[in-house]
């Protein structure tokens, strides 16, 4: 019997005017974008945290501190590649990733195929093993006011 584990990831970033909006490795056209130390890709950050948590390897902040200049402005897909290597080094492989993005705008649905391609390439898994969905916050709270964006993910990993 093989050992499997489930991980949960969450990330949130402020939206700032005239700032790039990177989601799932895709730059979206919008009047504001997620702000952070790296490229502030909430989707990929949440995926990293889910994978790290499932493997009991702490969290994204532990491995990629926002006080470390090596990570300033870096593509979060590179962080994901590092996380996947950590999993491999510890005998884990990814089964699947399921993600939910919560924001009012821009519309995510047209970009999901490209996001899945970028994430699959960075994680070394099939696009069929990645699910990305999006919803709004029905104009409530900081998400509804377009002040921030949130991503939730779950993943399954298996001991190789």
Which DSSP category does 24 fall into? Answer: T
Given the structure tokens 């402005």, which residue do they identify? Answer: 73
Q: Cite the annotated binding site by residue number.
A: 11-13, 37-38, 45, 59-61, 64-68, 135-138, 142, 145
User: Do 54 and 156 meet the contact criterion of CB atoms below 8 Å apart?
Assistant: yes
92 strand-pairing partners: 159
**Strand 130-135 vs strand 92-102: parallel, antiparallel, or unpaired?**
parallel
Binding-site positions for a divalent metal cation: 11, 13, 45
Contact criterion met (CB below 8 Å) for 142 and 148: yes
């Amino acid at each position: 019997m093989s050992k499997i584990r489930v991980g949960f990831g969450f990330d949130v970033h402020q939206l700032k005017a005239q700032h790039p909006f990177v989601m799932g490795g895709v730059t979206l056209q919008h009047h504001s974008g997620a702000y952070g130390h790296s490229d502030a890709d909430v989707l990929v950050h949440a995926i990293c945290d889910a994978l790290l948590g499932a493997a009991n390897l702490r969290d994204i902040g532990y491995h990629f501190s926002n006080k470390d200049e090596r990570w300033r402005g870096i593509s979060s897909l590179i962080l994901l590649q590092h996380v996947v290597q950590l999993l491999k080094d510890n005998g884990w492989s990814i089964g699947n990733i399921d993600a939910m993005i919560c924001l009012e705008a821009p519309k995510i649905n047209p970009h999901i195929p490209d996001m899945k391609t970028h994430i699959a390439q960075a994680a070394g898994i099939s696009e069929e093993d990645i699910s990305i969905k999006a919803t709004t916050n029905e104009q409530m709270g900081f998400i509804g006011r377009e002040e921030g964006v949130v991503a939730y993910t779950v993943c399954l990993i298996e001991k190789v």
